[in-house]
Structure formats: C-alpha cells, structure tokens
Structure 1
Amino acid sequence: MVKKVIRIVALIICLVIIVYEGVMIYVDQKEYQVASDEYDEIRSVAVDYIPEDEAEIVDYPVLNINFGKLEEINPDVTAWIYFPCLEISYPVVKESEVDEYLYKTFELEKNKAGCIFEDVMSDAGFNGYHDIVFGHNMKDKSMFGRLKDLYQKGNESLLEDNPYIYIYTKDHVYQYRVFAYYITKVGSGAYSVVSNLDEYKDFISFIQTHSAYKIPSDLDLESGNSILTLSTCSGRAGGSQRFVVHSLKVNAWEK
C-alpha cells in the first residue's frame, strides 16, 4: 500500500513538472515572438535595403539607416550591425552599466530576448582596440542565434563566400573580416580590455592559440586595427560557456 502511494505521488509530481515546463516553454516562446515582431517592425521603419542593381557603386552593402528614427525609440543606439552570411541585422545599443540590456529590448521592454548591445568598456564609435558586442543565442536563431552555424559541420563555406561583418554608424560604415572563432568561458582572455599596442599583441596571441578557425594569412594583425568581437551563450542555458567570433576592421568609409 505504501509503495502504491509513493508511486502515485511520484507520478503526480512528474505530471506537475511536465505541465509546469510546458507552460514555461509556451510563455518563453510567446515572449520571444513579441521580441521578434518588435525587431521586424524596427527594420521596416528604420532601414532600407537597397538592391545591388539600384544602389550606387560602393564597396559595401547599401543600407539606409534612419538613425533619427532609431534615436526616437532608444537614445542609446550607436550602430546597426549587419552580418550578411548569417542574415544578422539589428540595431546596437551601448550599455551604461553591465548587462543593462541583457533582458531589455531595443524599445526598453522587459523580455528574455534582450537586445544586441555593446560592452560598457568598449568604444561607442567602434574605434577601440577591442570592441565587444553581445547577443543572446536564441533557439529560433534570432539575435545571435545563427553564430553557432559557423562551426556546425557542413557550413565550412559560409565564411569563404562572405567573411565580412558591417557596422553602420551615423557617419561611417566599417567593414570587419572574421578571422577567428571558438568556444570559451565567461571572463576568459577573449574578453580582454585592450588599451595599448602591447596589450593588443598579447590579445592576438591569445586568439591565435584558441581559434577553431584557420586564421587567414593575408591579414595584418600587427598594426593595431580595431577588433570587433561578437559573443553569445553556448551549451546549457545558464552556464558559463560562450562562443565568440573575432573580426578585424579592414575598411572604413565616410557616408
């Protein structure tokens, strides 16, 4: 009799857990959809993608970013990031305190999807030795959820076809060449604050010893050109594992 009661209690507990997890998954998915709709709306009102055959002849994708409109929505906006080969295209804000935008969207709404945000120690104009941009690893591949595609088997040609990330600011367009990526942990050397050329060289050495991607031999990694790092979670939710992508600024154009 006692064993039967224990089995019934255990079954009830299991059912409660299943129902609870199902409800939480539904709530999360609903919240993520709200965030996805928000960013779709932002793209529709603030960004014009100009077809190549209609654009003026330039060396970068022509995106007309309405920074006036973006600033009306959120004055913390500093740039728009565009990573063509992974179809990543989002506004970027600059946090004024650590993790300020971890669970807050561009429209300042509380949401687990958060925002694409620049590290508090990075240069707002993307001219530091090392600037870092964070985004969530979303299961639906929104935000920085597509970064993991870089190291998945069968995707080796992604960066061969188009290895560039573009940062659009009010006055400039910056082109970065992806040259390294790897899985790391919170607080590792991948997040180094770099303030001089000696620290820059040490940072390059760290990257070279950790990269899972063959670093292109034709890049000048000695002159101190700005490095842009994209960072997202990797592995189990809530863990300390991270996936980072390092890129080197190779071109800059005034608008």
Structure 2
Amino acid sequence: MKKTKAKNIILVLLAVLCVAVLLYTLYQGLIIYIPQKQEQQRFEELRQIVEREREESSAPVQTKPTGDDTQPVYTEEENPAVYSDIVRINDDFRGWLRIEDTIIDYPVVKSSEDDPEYYLHRDYDKNYSFSGTPFIGAGADENSDAFVIYAHNMNNGTMFGTLDFYADKEWAEQHPYIHFDTANEDRVYRVFAAFQTTIGGENEFKYNERAGKLNDEEYTAFVKDIKEASVMFTGECPDKKTQIIMLSTCSYHAENGRFVVAAYRV
C-alpha cells in the first residue's frame, strides 16, 4: 500500500513537472514569437507607406489652370520622392532591398562609424528589436565600390532567413537580380557568387574588410577571391569595374559561420 502511494506521488510529481516544462516552453515561444510578429508587422507598415508613395509618384499631379483654360493641367515634375516619408521617419535610411520570391523586402539603414552595429537589435524606429534592421556595415556606404548589408538569419525565415537559397545554383540562376533602391535612384545588381566563411576561422575570408573604396588592382583581386571562396558561382563575373553589393547573414555550417551573396551592379 505504501509502495502504491509512493508510486502515485511520483507519477503526480512527474506529471506536474511535464506540465511545468510545457508551460515554460510555451511561454518562451510566446515571448519570442509575439515580438517578432510585431516587428514584422512594423516592416509591413513601412512597405505600405512605400507602396503608397510609389503610386503617388507615378500619378500625374494636378495644377491650377492658367488663363481661360478651364481644364486642369497635369505634370509629373512635382511628384514626391518615393522614399520621402520613410526618410522622414528615420534619416539613417540608405535604400530599400528586395529579392523576388523571398521575404527580403526591407529598408536598409546605416548608423555612424562610431557604432556601426547600432541596428543589429534595433528596429527602424530605433527601438529595441530582436530582429533588428538590415544595415550597411563599417567602412563603406551605398556609394562605395563595395559594401556589405547585414541582417539576421531568423529561424522563422524573416530578415535574411531565405538568403541561403542562393547556395543552390539553379535557384540563383532563376533569381539573378537583387534590387536596392536608394532615395535618388533604382538600382539592380546581378548575383554572381555565394560563399561561406567562419569568423575567426583558420581560413577566414575577411570580405567585410574589403568594403569601401577599391583601386582597379584591389577590385580585380577581390572578385577573384570571391570566386575562389564560392560555394555557388554562376559563371559570370563583372567584366569591368562596377559596384559590388554583398548580403551577409549568420550560417549554421559552423560556429560563427557566415553566408554571403555577392552581386555586381548592372
């Protein structure tokens, strides 16, 4: 009888422990899921702002009729800039990044060189954010010969969570273009390689240190090094010096791993 009672107590304790573990797991999931959901909702609001501005900028603007003309006059000369509202929200805005058939559709920012990773865990409104905001790294900007845009590799596939699709050459060939539009111009880049490296590893490829201004010799050497380090190479390299954009995120092939996609401006 005592053994049965003791066994029942053990079973109850185990059941309570299992319920406690389940509740804790659900709690942990919720405190991660809910903020990430809110963060992505904010990005969706920013996308809607941009979409509205695009529609307004493509529509003719009505001006007052002149003289005896009673018909309205339309002109596109005074149309608002597509990203004017986005810049007003945060003047660290440097461009909008898009890749077709992925969730990558985000504003890109750049902070000061004193704190280049400011947006690693801050949203576009500069509040704390686990997901952060894609940002241009140290030593370069959107007008440099080469620059890097960093973002997290989120488990839910957001941010740069789909960037490693470019490890597949067939997928890369079907999605050859990266769109990065600045406040002043729309830009298109052609993907030519993707590579992996490990920060602090024996054969680390310090691609981030090659960002910035490059002379012709440095540029040629950099393209060659990207090709040699690549896990995916399309077979096409820039045939002349043109701007290189690199998208960088964490990779789980190794501790402190990185996965990087390189593209040149066309």
Common fold by TM > 0.5:
yes
Residue 234 of structure 1, aligned match among 251, 254, 266: 251
Contact 1:85 1:158 (C-alpha < 8 Å) held by counterparts: no
The partner residue of 2:32 within 28, 33, 42 is: 28
SS of the equivalent of 1:165 reads: strand
For structure 2, the residue ranges without an aligned partner over 5 or more in a row are 1-6, 60-79
Is 1:213 aligned with 2:221?
Answer: no
1:162 and 1:119 map into 2 onto residues whose CA distance is 25
The aligned amino acid for 1:167 is: F
| More divergent stretch after superposition (194-203 vs 15-24) | 15-24
**TM-score (norm: length of structure 1):** 0.77
1:88 to 97, 104, 112: 104
Letter in 1 for 2:245: L
Structure 1 gap segments, 5+ residues each:
56-63, 251-255
Code of the aligned partner of 1:76: D
The one-letter amino acid paired with 1:180 is A
Equivalent position of 1:140 in the other structure: 156
Corresponding position of 1:200:
219
Displacement of 1:225 in angstroms is: 1.2
Give the whole-Å Cα distance in 1 for the aligned partners of 2:15 and 2:221.
56
Cα deviation digits, residues 55-98 of structure 1 (max 9, x gap): 9xxxxxxxx97322112211110111111242421111112113
Contact 1:118–1:134 at 8 Å: present in 2 too? yes
Pairwise CA distance, 1:160: 2.1
For residue 103 of structure 1, what is the aligned residue in structure 2? 121
SS in 2 for 1:122: coil
Structure 2 distance, partners of 1:191, 1:12, is 51
Matched, 1:162 2:175: yes
Distance 2:214 2:154 in 1: 34
Q: 1:70 aligned to 2:86?
A: yes
TM-score with structure 2 setting the length: 0.74
Aligned-CA RMSD value: 3.1
Which range is displaced more, 79-88 or 182-191? 182-191
State the partner residue of 2:72: none
| Structure with larger Rg | 2
Please name the residue that 1:253 is paired with.
none
Measure the CA separation in 2 of the matches of 1:9 and 1:191. Answer: 53
Q: 1:206 to 1:24 in 2, by over 3 A?
A: same
Give the 3 Å change call, closer, same or farther, for CA 87–15 of structure 1 in structure 2.
closer
Structure with higher helix content:
2
Secondary structure at 2:29 match in 1: helix
Match of 1:44 among 45, 48, 52: 48
Give % identity: 26
Q: Shift of residue 16 of structure 1?
A: 5.8
